[in-house]
Structure 1
Amino acid sequence: MSDTDSKSATPAVQNWAPKLFIDEPDRTAEALATFRLLEKCKYSIDYLGDSTNEFMECDCPEERTLVDDDEYINRACDENSDCINRLTLIECVDGLCESTCGKECQNQRFQKKQYADINVFLTEHKGYGVRAQTNLEANTFIYEYIGEVIDEEEFRDRMIQYDNRHLKHFYFMMLQTGQFIDATMKGCLARFCNHSCNPNAYVNKWVVNGKLKMGIFAKRDIVKGEEITFDYNVDRYGATAQKCYCGEPNCIGFMGGKTQTDAASLLPHIYADAMGVSASQEKKWIKAKKAEGTLDDIKNKGENGENINVEFVESLDMEPCDNVKDVTKVMSVLLQCNNQLIASMLFKRLWLTYNYEDEDDEDKTLKQILLNQVIKLHGYQCFKNILQLFQDNDYDVLRDIIEFLYHLPKSTRNGVTSSHIDEQVRSIANEYPDFEEDCNQLLQRWNSFDTYTRITKKDISNASSTTSMKKLMDQRRIRLPPGWEIIQENGRPLYFNREQNRKLVDPPISQSDHNNRTTSVDRRNRTASKGPLGLGHNNDSEYHLGDKRSYSSRDIHRSEDFAMKKKRIELEEQQMLLRAKEEEEKREKERFKQETERRNILDQIISDVGKSKELQREQSLKLEEEKRRKHHERKINSQLSHLEHKWEKFFASFVPNMVKKYNTDINLSHDAIKQCSRDIVKTLSNKEAKRGSENSPPKKMDKYKYEKVKNFVNQYMEKFTQKYNDKKFKTSQAS
């Protein structure tokens, strides 16, 4: 807690304890009967919920631990690991990520439905609610928010339908721009999580097997029997503002509407955390707006429909990242962010980190570590997305991003090519001639990076007949020190550390192994210091020909024995070296033969994989283009429909009266007059909507427009009257 937070905390808040509902009856079965239960989200259109990021493979090693006599658990990618997928809110997928972390790693909570133990109970004023059945630690995954994923057009239609049906509760949650999860009629238990102005949970967006998922996570430690709540003002949508019954000391009385600003929910939790914004900063800003008397004019709205207070965000002064944890938070949001304002503010934190003035070697080392972390956390894929986001909008941000990328630490070319960021940079160079030189320099720098092929378990399995690959397989069973992995370069297996930019032929040694080896070497050195036969080098025991002392025959024989033994040992050592050299030559020939075989196998694997990836990429580009085209058509149709609806309301206010006045000389039925009015309104609205989105209905009818509409009504009614009289005449003749 910051100093500001601690000062503002009142004794009542410090002594606060959560309200428990342990004694309330379990109403889960009763609640399940009110909707249709879904095991997973149902998509009204296949492409809804698709992530813009390609699947990313982590580099965590598989780590199986024996828990029972015959059962092993893979501990890879657990909450204590540095798994780059877990840190950037991406789940590992069996079959796609198994070349490193293996099957059934610990980063598959959505896929395995590893939900917390919860049930439903009946609250006093809020209907059903959800409570914890066990104690939950902070950041525990509680439940996925499941429902029907729909587009914006369907979302608007359902809002009207549910409002007309007088439904009291709405269960919409925004997934991404123009896409929503509707759990009203079909969903899961997570739909019963109520709103609170002081919530104990929050909602986070994860990428799971190419789809975006919304998960509910514990914001703090939650006690057994406590109701699980999150902030609707940030994460859920309803038709109108509703009264709030959360009962918290800071309750503002309503959910939604103008009171949302008073709730200090100026940013979603995940954005505020990544930007380093505290609750005290929000409260201070709101207090200043109240003092200015401009609080009622403030509205939370982001460019993509997200609940973001733009004025508040623009008022923030970003600080550089101080540690690896800060960088991780920023990168996890940037990877999925399509909001230009938020993306620019978060990039500013990274930019300030890079531009931080180095005062000493410690600052330089820290900066290098933080920038390496940017690359490690799917940095190239992240900045490829950001370049796309700003390519047509912000010249200055693009320039800063190009400079930032150029000064990132040297890594490998693999991340550049797999993310296709080089293609994006070429596109920017073609579109902006002023950037061409900087972009070319960046591309040249990337071209100088080494390319490597990671040796996966599948590669080892395919070539495990060779001695060297068997040795590698044994080494894979031993966990390498943090930051190290096995790669393949020019047909040779190497050990590579991306952060240190080091390559080793032999396996790297951890600190504990190094200490053990040092102890062993010291022991051997102490033994060797006694001489070749274990004799000490004490001056008193050495024999010098020039010594004036007299020697007995026994001493002379001892000297001769020593010389003979020494000569024999030297001869044996020479023979051993000769044999070792011959064996090494044989092994080298065998190794060369095996390396040739293994290289041929790996070359074939790489060739097959490359062809497959290229084909998949072409298909993916075609599919993405088709999706964008359909989405654009739906968007245009939605806009036209919305505009036409406005014009219908406009014309419906006076056209029926015109038709009634015209009917004074004709005896038409009430239904006929009503139908004529509807047809005229529909025709006029359709014509006005086709003129474009800028052609909105006027607030007040002018004389010119009135006369024009009146003439159209007269012409229409004359034609209708003629047809009506002809039909009436034919009927009378027939009778």
Structure 2
Amino acid sequence: MSVLEEKDDGNVKNGPVLFSDQEDKTEEAKKSFIEIGECTYGNKSLGSSGQHEQMTCDCHENWDPTSQKNLACDDDSDCINRLTSVECTNKYGTCGKDCQNQRFQKKQYASVAVFQTEMKGYGLRAEKDIPDSSFIYEYTGEVIDEEAFRKRMVQYDEKNIKHFYFMMLKQDSFIDATRKGSLARFCNHSCNPNAYVDKWVVGEKLRMGIFAKRTIKRGEEITFDYNVDRYGAQKQPCYCGEPNCIKWLGGKTQTDAALLLPDGISEALGVTHKQEKQWLKENKHLRSKQQKESSSVNEAFVKSIEVSPLEEGDVSRVMGALMRSQNLSITQKLIERIFLTDDSYINTLIIRVHGYKTLSQVIKAVREDDIELVKKILIILSKWPKMTRNKISSSQIEDVVKEINANCEDEELKTLSENLLNEWGNLQMAYRIPKNVSNGSSGTPSFFTRSTRSRSPERSQSNEPIEMEDDSLPEGWQVAFDPNTQKPYYYHLELGISRWDRPTKVVPKGPRSKSIEPPKRTNNHGSSTPRGFKDDELAKREEERIRREKEEQFREMREKERRLQELILQSQKEHEEKKSLEEKLRLEKLEKEKERHALKKKDKKPKHDKHSKDKKHSKHSHESSNGASRSSEVSLEQQWTKLFANYVPNLIKKFEAEVGRDNIKGCARELVKTLTEKELKKHPDTKAPKELDSAKLKKIKEYCRAFMDKFLIKYKAKHDKKRPHSTKEDGEADAQKKPKLEDE
């Protein structure tokens, strides 16, 4: 039980059970596995976060002179990375080196110890108080794919390994901490846990961490809900002792419990656990028809959710969930919430919390699977407030939309993407000219080479651009480094314009304006008056007119570049189509040439036997075709026969003492034949797997047991009557009366 009664000044109150007096078994427990600081991966693609662009925050360095620590991105900050479960890295961003949002990378674990529980084996307890929402430990292990996961489930079951340490990282990636892992593997299950698991983006990988769900007292056991992301081969009794305990872990009970969405997803979708459980209770009888048993999310439940527009507090939760979501149904619902949001302030917040980058990744992930969702995203992008091109360019979403526009066949999608590109094309870059660049008319600005990004505590916290040298740029263009996007940008000082892509041409400057000499004014005495306010205003107007002319020239140049790009893409497309057509004509020509040679050969043969040979050829082709078809059927039949033959004899071998070796062989043949016929009937085009999974094997065991039970009844009845003519054939004949195999 997690609750006991404590007396304080005569009052009785509830509190957690504490295990501080239990012996520390940490060193003993470490001998049962290999401790690793980070996950190992079966291949490079496993555990990918899908975020290939660096996710940078807007925070700035904040060095504490006393502790010499960078306090940027701490708990009290509004760091957009921290809000969306993304860790900052030293290589990118303006928050500086070693900020406070690097807990996975720095292994900033809570103080914990392993102890021996009464019923659950080892457990993990807090050695110091752990505040609410604190990072406790990373769950590390071997990251494997689904095929390896299924095999290991069976292997561990056969080896009678009682404790399982699997956790799903993605739909196709699982963490196995059975042989290699961290102390987090000793966290036990509870139906009323004090911690939870959460996925974080760290660089290009997803990593799983355990976080405090509430304040955890010193000596209290750390637990989380296995039914969210952890799996076992067979169901096991639950010993958590909570009032809401579901009694079992694994098997159907765990599958039902796992249908409830993880905390982060349910909050992002705006639903409560009470709503989820009520829906599951009302629709439990339909579970098998709704989805596969292996699914970790109830698709029918997700589709039944009616979402609402985002409010200010929902933004970070929704964008964080969207960034890590691997399920299309959940992604659709999250996008729907953003789509329904019309408040310009909320949409501005979405843009700030990696909005463009996140939607860019969603489009890349779903564009071939859900065109309607892509359309909805483009409509969202068209609604978002637009003032500058900065975030659009740095997120590279423009390239994604250009690719859609160039390759899509759907007219509506093409129109939406084209309108969006035109709208973005009219936006200007917002930039700051480096402080050491003079805006005067004389002299060339001085440049210095970009220095290292890491700053010491004593250095200025300025976020000014850093100038860079580049003598190969066209006349008038200069380059600087933008700390916000971690990219160089190019600006034309005289024209007051900038761009992210490297310029290749000199910007036309237009006619030079003559120097304006304001007319002299005279007073009543004929003396000239000094230049006044009106003269300055006149000069400013002239400067504004010249600036507008230059901007117009620049826009014309950009439009020409855009059209040229479109022509290049069109030319490439036409060239590819032409090559495809030429290849098609070449193949047709070769085919005709073969037919012509074949006709020539036939004409050379003697006429008297042409008819008979044609008949033979036709018969041979027909037989060959039928033979190939039969060969394919036999091939599939042989595969299934071989598969079942590997299992069936062992499953019924225990009956050999009762019915004899010959009868067992006959029963095995009959069982293999029957099972093969049923599989070919249900799945005529499906190849047999290399081995049976645990669910299938269980059904085969039950079928074989039922078959042998009926066979034994017949067999014993005959022998009780002591028929002298009872033979092996009788036993085999009885095997023809088979029990019905349940459909999967």
TM-score bin (small chain): 0.5 to 0.7
Alignment partner, residue 76 of structure 1: 72
Alignment partner, residue 570 of structure 2: none
Residues 340 and 389 in structure 1, CA contact (< 8 A), matched pair in contact too: no
Alignment partner, residue 324 of structure 2: 336
Deviation, 1:195, is 0.8
Are 2:437 and 1:449 aligned? no
Alignment partner, residue 56 of structure 2: 57
- Distance in 2 between the 1:237 and 1:147 partners? 14
Deviation, 1:492, is 9.8
Alignment partner, residue 594 of structure 2: none
Are 2:423 and 1:424 aligned? no
* Structure 1 segment 555-594 matched on structure 2, within 5 A: none
* Structure 1 segment 2-41 matched on structure 2, within 5 A: 16-41=14-39
Residues 193 and 224 in structure 2, CA contact (< 8 A), matched pair in contact too: yes
Deviation, 1:399, is 2.1
3-state SS in 2 of match to 1:175: strand
Residues 391 and 398 in structure 1, CA contact (< 8 A), matched pair in contact too: yes
Alignment partner, residue 185 of structure 2: 191
- Distance in 2 between the 1:400 and 1:29 partners? 55
- Distance in 1 between the 2:243 and 2:351 partners? 44
Alignment partner, residue 316 of structure 1: 305
3-state SS in 1 of match to 2:81: helix
Candidates 257, 267, 273, aligned match of 2:251: 257
* Structure 1 segment 483-502 matched on structure 2, within 5 A: none
Residues 70 and 457 in structure 2, CA contact (< 8 A), matched pair in contact too: no
Residues 644 and 689 in structure 1, CA contact (< 8 A), matched pair in contact too: no
3-state SS in 1 of match to 2:246: coil
**Deviations 1:569-619, CA, capped at 9 Å, x for gaps:** xxxxx9xxxxxxxxxxxxxxxxxxxxxxxxxxxxxxxxxxxxxxxxxxxxx
Alignment partner, residue 92 of structure 1: 88
**Deviations 1:631-675, CA, capped at 9 Å, x for gaps:** xxxxxxxxxxx9998664445578999xxxxxxxxxxx9xx99xx
Are 2:207 and 1:210 aligned? no
**Deviations 1:662-705, CA, capped at 9 Å, x for gaps:** xxxxxxx9xx99xx99x999x9999999985478999999xxxx
**Deviations 1:255-290, CA, capped at 9 Å, x for gaps:** 133324765861012211211222222233244x1x
**Deviations 1:332-390, CA, capped at 9 Å, x for gaps:** 11112221100111111111222xxxxxxxxxxxx222111111111112111222333
Alignment partner, residue 433 of structure 1: 411
- Distance in 2 between the 1:206 and 1:301 partners? 30
3-state SS in 2 of match to 1:280: helix
Deviation, 1:222, is 1.1
AA aligned to 1:29 is E
**Deviations 1:411-459, CA, capped at 9 Å, x for gaps:** 43343334332232233333222221111010111222223568999x9
- Distance in 1 between the 2:144 and 2:649 partners? 36
AA aligned to 1:433 is E
AA aligned to 2:298 is N
Candidates 117, 136, 141, aligned match of 1:147: 141
3-state SS in 2 of match to 1:131: strand
Q: 1:322 to 1:33 in 2, by over 3 A?
A: same
3-state SS in 1 of match to 2:109: coil
3-state SS in 2 of match to 1:17: strand
**Deviations 1:474-500, CA, capped at 9 Å, x for gaps:** 9996667xxx976999869999999xx
Count of aligned pairs: 507
Q: 1:193 to 1:454 in 2, by over 3 A?
A: farther
Alignment partner, residue 242 of structure 1: 236
Deviation, 1:24, is 1.2
Q: 1:692 to 1:249 in 2, by over 3 A?
A: same
* Structure 1 segment 298-313 matched on structure 2, within 5 A: 298=287, 307-313=296-302
- Distance in 1 between the 2:256 and 2:683 partners? 41
Residues 375 and 413 in structure 2, CA contact (< 8 A), matched pair in contact too: yes
Q: 1:685 to 1:52 in 2, by over 3 A?
A: farther
- Distance in 2 between the 1:650 and 1:420 partners? 53
- Distance in 2 between the 1:115 and 1:651 partners? 52
Q: 1:490 to 1:319 in 2, by over 3 A?
A: farther
Q: 1:243 to 1:687 in 2, by over 3 A?
A: closer
Alignment partner, residue 398 of structure 1: 374
Deviation, 1:67, is 2.1
Question: Is 410-419 or 443-452 further displaced after alignment?
Answer: 410-419
Tell me the percent identity.
43
* Structure 1 segment 264-413 matched on structure 2, within 5 A: 266-287=260-281, 289=282, 294-298=283-287, 307-323=296-312, 325-354=313-342, 367-413=343-389
* Structure 1 segment 508-519 matched on structure 2, within 5 A: none
Residues 268 and 307 in structure 1, CA contact (< 8 A), matched pair in contact too: no
Alignment partner, residue 518 of structure 1: none
AA aligned to 1:441 is N
AA aligned to 1:309 is N
**Deviations 1:492-544, CA, capped at 9 Å, x for gaps:** 9999999xxxxxx9xxxxxxxxxxxxxxxxxxxxxxxxxxxxxxxxxxxxxxx
AA aligned to 2:346 is L
Q: 1:475 to 1:199 in 2, by over 3 A?
A: closer
Residues 192 and 242 in structure 2, CA contact (< 8 A), matched pair in contact too: yes
* Structure 1 segment 517-666 matched on structure 2, within 5 A: 648-652=642-646
- Distance in 1 between the 2:127 and 2:333 partners? 40
Q: 1:306 to 1:224 in 2, by over 3 A?
A: farther
Q: Indicate the RMSD between aligned Cα atoms, in angstroms.
A: 4.8
AA aligned to 1:51 is S
- Distance in 2 between the 1:89 and 1:456 partners? 33
Q: 1:687 to 1:348 in 2, by over 3 A?
A: closer
- Distance in 1 between the 2:640 and 2:18 partners? 49
Residues 258 and 299 in structure 1, CA contact (< 8 A), matched pair in contact too: no
Deviation, 1:297, is 3.5
Q: 1:304 to 1:51 in 2, by over 3 A?
A: farther
Candidates 114, 129, 141, aligned match of 2:108: 114
3-state SS in 1 of match to 2:401: helix
Alignment partner, residue 176 of structure 2: 182
Residues 304 and 339 in structure 1, CA contact (< 8 A), matched pair in contact too: no
Residues 75 and 106 in structure 1, CA contact (< 8 A), matched pair in contact too: yes
- Distance in 2 between the 1:395 and 1:420 partners? 20
**Deviations 1:14-38, CA, capped at 9 Å, x for gaps:** 9653222121111111111111111
- Distance in 1 between the 2:384 and 2:356 partners? 10
**Deviations 1:4-57, CA, capped at 9 Å, x for gaps:** xxxxxxxxxx96532221211111111111111112211222332222112222
Question: Is 419-428 or 147-156 further displaced after alignment?
Answer: 419-428
Alignment partner, residue 169 of structure 1: 163
Deviation, 1:109, is 0.4
**Deviations 1:179-199, CA, capped at 9 Å, x for gaps:** 111100111100011111111
**Deviations 1:103-135, CA, capped at 9 Å, x for gaps:** 111111011100000111111111101111111
AA aligned to 1:42 is T
Unaligned runs of 5+ in 1: 1-13, 355-366, 499-504, 506-573, 575-641, 658-668, 702-735
- Distance in 2 between the 1:684 and 1:412 partners? 67
Deviation, 1:464, is 13
- Distance in 1 between the 2:310 and 2:460 partners? 34
Residues 241 and 257 in structure 1, CA contact (< 8 A), matched pair in contact too: yes
